[in-house]
């Protein structure tokens, strides 16, 4: 019985030992087979670094205002008797906009004119009598003073009557009316806004370190989301001589032509100041740059030998670069690579130094110097 059990244990041990030896041999052969094959290459997109012309630019957000724009008001109180305009109309200079009730003022003006006419008659009569010594010099002087006073009263009252007629101070476009016939208005009450839209100012702020790049007459461009794809050209007209001590920013004023009166006061615009001479930089899409705490890097693709099929083996090598300014989707490379080097533009997250790569440029990242959002 004991002998039989020993034989059974030996047989079981031989079976398990054989199975273990077979699996060990199979694993060893698989490792040898894998060691003879290279890992599959990583699919990436790539492009060659190239020199492009760069116009140095300074960007800011500005607010538009009319070269001439006011809220039309009344200098004196009065009752609106008639409104001569409609909202949104164009007005020429001195166009009558609103007439206030001036009946009592006109009546008083006529009374003062009559008094002034009587004073003139008395003065002319006494002047003749003074010539023949019929009246004294004092009487003639009193008559002259009375005439001047009466004439001044007439001019004052005529000015009051004139102010009851409210006119456009310059040509422009009227806004929405805020008055109606029969309404009583006080001095300073807004009647309507008037804006000259042929030319507009853009007010924007730039840091003090940018002031050396600016000068009056310098060209500026303006873009607004109200008109995608349309750029307005203007020039700097004034630089505020005082820098804001709280922000260290200087206010800049630029004047823009407004063809078609598309731009309106109060709109905001992205201002692009052309600052300095055109330069040339090696340029890559911003997606090619990997930003790290220890510096910026790119993966450069190089050919390192031939594969079993005779095709070149492409390997990605990580190199440090120094970046410059950016514009749109592009970034300038100051140092680290040379013109014509093949640089990975997407897919670098799957790479490490020395990884084999396969270039697939069916989908390339955007490389637009002035990208715009797609129109809806």
Query: pLDDT value at position 42?
Result: 87
Q: Could you tell me the fold of the domain covering 58-67+194-274?
A: Elongation Factor Tu (Ef-tu); domain 3 (2.40.30)
245-298 pLDDT per residue, tens: 999 999 999 999 998 889 999 999 999 888 777 888 899 999 999 988 888 999
Query: pLDDT value at position 350?
Result: 86
Query: pLDDT value at position 284?
Result: 92
Q: Could you tell me the fold of the domain covering 102-162?
A: Helix Hairpins (1.10.287)
Query: pLDDT value at position 352?
Result: 87
**Is pLDDT of 79 > 80?**
yes
DSSP structural state of residue 247: T
**Is pLDDT of 20 > 90?**
no
Among candidate residues 361, 245, 357, the one with its CA nearest the CA of residue 300: 357
DSSP H/E element including 137: helix 137-163
Query: pLDDT value at position 305?
Result: 79
Ranked by mean pLDDT, which of 5-19, 32-46, 247-261, 268-282 comes out on top? 247-261
Q: Are 358 and 41 a contacting pair, CB within 8 Å?
A: yes
Q: Which tokens in the block code for residue 350?
A: 């799957």
Q: Are 284 and 343 a contacting pair, CB within 8 Å?
A: yes
Q: Which tokens in the block code for residue 16?
A: 């398990």
Whole-Å CA distances, 135 to 117, 126, 149, 328: 21, 7, 21, 92
Q: What string of DSSP letters covers 79-129?
A: EEEEE---TT-EE-TT-EEEEE--HHHHHHHHHHHHHHHHHHHHHHHHHHH
**Is pLDDT of 344 > 70?**
yes
Strand partners, 335: 322
Query: pLDDT value at position 15?
Result: 58
Q: Which tokens in the block code for residue 50?
A: 């190239």
Domain ranges of the chain: 42-54+279-359, 58-67+194-274, 102-162
Categorize the per-residue pLDDT at 376 as very low, low, confident or very high, splitting at 50, 70 and 90: very low
301-340 pLDDT per residue, tens: 988 877 777 788 889 999 999 998 888 888 999 999 999 9
B/e letters for 157-184, b = 16+ CB within 10 Å, e = fewer, are: beebeebbebbbeeebbbbebebeeeee
DSSP structural state of residue 261: G
- Minimum mean pLDDT among 2-11, 290-299, 343-352: which range? 2-11
Strand partners, 99: 82, 165
**Is pLDDT of 45 > 80?**
yes
**Is pLDDT of 375 > 90?**
no
Query: pLDDT value at position 205?
Result: 94
Among candidate residues 364, 361, 299, the one with its CA nearest the CA of residue 329: 364
- Same fold? 42-54+279-359, 102-162: no
Q: Please give the CATH number for the structural domain made up of 42-54+279-359.
A: 2.40.420.20
Give percent above pLDDT 70 in the chain. Answer: 88
**Mean pLDDT confidence for 27-47:** 67
The residue that leads in pLDDT, 21 or 198, is: 198
SS3 76: coil
Whole-Å CA distances, 121 to 93, 115, 127, 128, 143: 39, 10, 10, 11, 10
**Is pLDDT of 35 > 50?**
no
Query: pLDDT value at position 329?
Result: 85
Alpha helices in the chain (DSSP H): 2-35, 103-131, 137-163
**Mean pLDDT confidence for 35-46:** 74
**Mean pLDDT confidence for 97-105:** 93
């Amino acid at each position: 019985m004991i002998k039989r059990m020993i034989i059974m244990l030996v047989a079981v041990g031989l079976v398990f030992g054989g199975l273990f030896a077979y699996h060990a041999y199979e694993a060893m052969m698989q490792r040898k087979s894998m060691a003879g094959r290279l890992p599959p290459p990583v699919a990436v997109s790539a492009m060659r670094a190239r020199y492009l012309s760069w116009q140095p630019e300074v960007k800011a957000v500005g607010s538009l205002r009319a070269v001439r724009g006011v809220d039309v008001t009344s200098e004196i109180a009065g009752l609106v008797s008639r409104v001569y305009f409609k909202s949104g109309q164009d007005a020429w200079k001195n166009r009558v906009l609103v007439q206030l009730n001036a009946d009592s003022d006109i009546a008083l003006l006529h009374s003062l004119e009559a008094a002034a006419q009587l004073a003139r008659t008395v003065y002319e009569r006494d002047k003749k009598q003074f010539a023949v010594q019929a009246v004294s010099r004092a009487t003639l002087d009193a008559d002259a003073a009375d005439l001047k006073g009466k004439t001044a009263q007439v001019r004052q009252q005529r000015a009051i009557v004139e102010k009851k007629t409210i006119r456009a101070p310059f040509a422009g476009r009227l806004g929405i009316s805020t008055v109606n016939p029969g309404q009583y208005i006080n001095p300073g009450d807004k009647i309507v806004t008037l804006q000259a839209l042929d030319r507009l100012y853009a007010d924007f702020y730039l840091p003090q370190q940018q002031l050396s790049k600016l000068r009056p007459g310098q060209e500026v461009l303006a873009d607004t989301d109200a008109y995608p794809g349309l750029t307005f050209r203007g020039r700097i007209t004034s630089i505020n001589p005082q820098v804001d001590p709280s922000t260290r920013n200087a206010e800049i004023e630029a004047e823009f032509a407004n063809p078609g009166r598309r731009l309106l006061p109060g709109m905001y615009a992205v201002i692009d100041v052309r600052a300095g001479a055109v330069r040339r930089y090696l340029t890559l899409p911003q997606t090619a740059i990997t930003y790290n705490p220890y510096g910026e890097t790119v993966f450069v693709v190089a050919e390192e030998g031939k594969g079993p099929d005779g095709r070149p083996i492409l390997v990605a090598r990580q190199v440090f670069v120094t970046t410059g300014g950016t514009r749109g989707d592009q970034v300038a490379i100051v140092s680290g690579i040379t013109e014509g080097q093949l640089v990975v533009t997407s897919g670098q997250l799957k790479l490490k130094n020395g990884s084999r790569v396969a270039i697939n440029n069916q989908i390339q990242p955007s490389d637009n110097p002035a990208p715009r959002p797609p129109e809806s």
